[in-house]
Amino acid sequence: MSDTPRHEWTLQMSRRIRITGRLRMTSALHVGGGVGTTSITDAGVVRHADGRPYIPGSSLKGALRSHLERLCQVEALAKAGANSCLLYAPGKKGPSWTPTAPACPTPGWIENKKDATAAKEEDFSSLCATCTLFGSPILAGKIRIGDLEVVEETYNGDVEIRDGVGINRDTGRAVDGVKFDYEVIPSGTAFAFTLDVDSPDAVERGLVAVAIRELQEGRISIGGKTTRGLGHCELSNIAVQDDDFSSIEKMANYFNSRADNGTSDRKVDDPNDTINQWIVALLPSS
């Protein structure tokens, strides 16, 4: 695969990779609906107007980003170019991560440059791997994750209500007199997963593959209250579609095939082997 230089991808769209699968909860899930949820509890789960719960793509994207930001602190990955400036990584609390890339530029940083045009090119090419994949204040990311719709046959329409006590974040101890209840989606409920990544280079593609493998192994938790054991999940039934946009004909073929049957005919034969190959390309055994 010929790689588009990382910072030129917006100028040259060469391919699109789509990974789909089924994300099954192995523990209950709480993705807060925030203000406006029609819940009798203090904290409802996010739902469509007709009541069906879903997982916002942004919620899973955030979980993947922080997971990969941590993995990019592993020396072998950083040496392979999978570095991270830790733009959205945990701050003062928790382990003190060491960024493996210099701080990526932010809009304020650009404004302070005298020659804005020259600064731009330099800034884009200096972005770390997690910023080019997931986005930064100066550039949209290459990854998109659609909202994950519930798989009807795995969901009976019920939510469970849990009692919680207020926990002091610093001490980790219960706070007297602070009680609340919240909704969770039952364990066993599954959601349809779709991730698109546009024109990744070998490093970015490898990182996506690592994220998929971690999801398959159940090592990434999603939603809220993960420290209370919620949000464990496993990705299965993956399919990988690798579409070539390097010519007008190939692009036309892509859009035409999607119009016919809603899917491209470029699904790879063995998606798990493809994921393996992408990881090996990122981390070749010497």
Hey, what are 137's tokens? 């204040």
Buried b / exposed e along 107-122 (16+ C-beta atoms within 10 A): eeeeeeeeeeeebbee
The residue from 128, 190, 210, 212 that contacts Zn ion (CB under 5 A) is 128
CB of 204 to Zn ion, least distance (A): 13
Cα 250 to Cα 74, 198, 205, 242, 245, distances in angstroms: 38, 15, 21, 12, 6
**Residues touching Zn ion, count (CB under 5 A):** 5
Closest CA to 142 of 274, 14, 277: 14
- Of the candidate spans 54-62, 83-91, 235-243, 259-267, the one that interacts with Zn ion by CB under 5 A turns out to be 83-91
CB of 83 to Zn ion, least distance (A): 8
CB of 129 to Zn ion, least distance (A): 8
Evaluated on CA atoms 31, 35, 39, 43, the torsion sign reads positive
By C-beta, is 5 or 188 nearer to Zn ion?
Answer: 5
Cα 50 to Cα 37, 38, 54, 109, 174, distances in angstroms: 12, 11, 11, 45, 36
By C-beta, is 104 or 240 nearer to Zn ion?
Answer: 104
Buried b / exposed e along 82-102 (16+ C-beta atoms within 10 A): bbbbbbbbeeeeeeeeebbbe
The residue from 19, 31, 68, 104 that contacts Zn ion (CB under 5 A) is 104
By CB under 5 A, is residue 85 in contact with Zn ion?
yes
By CB under 5 A, is residue 131 in contact with Zn ion?
yes
- Compute the distance between CA of residue 161 and CA of residue 109 in angstroms, rounded to an integer: 46
Binding mask 175-214 for Zn ion (x = CB under 5 A): ----------------------------------------
CB of 164 to Zn ion, least distance (A): 35
By C-beta, is 106 or 263 nearer to Zn ion?
Answer: 106
Q: Which H or E element spans position 234?
A: strand 233-244
CB of 69 to Zn ion, least distance (A): 9
- Compute the distance between CA of residue 100 and CA of residue 83 in angstroms, rounded to an integer: 5
By C-beta, is 27 or 126 nearer to Zn ion?
Answer: 126
By CB under 5 A, is residue 139 in contact with Zn ion?
no
Contacting residues toward Zn ion, per CB under 5 A: 85, 87, 104, 128, 131
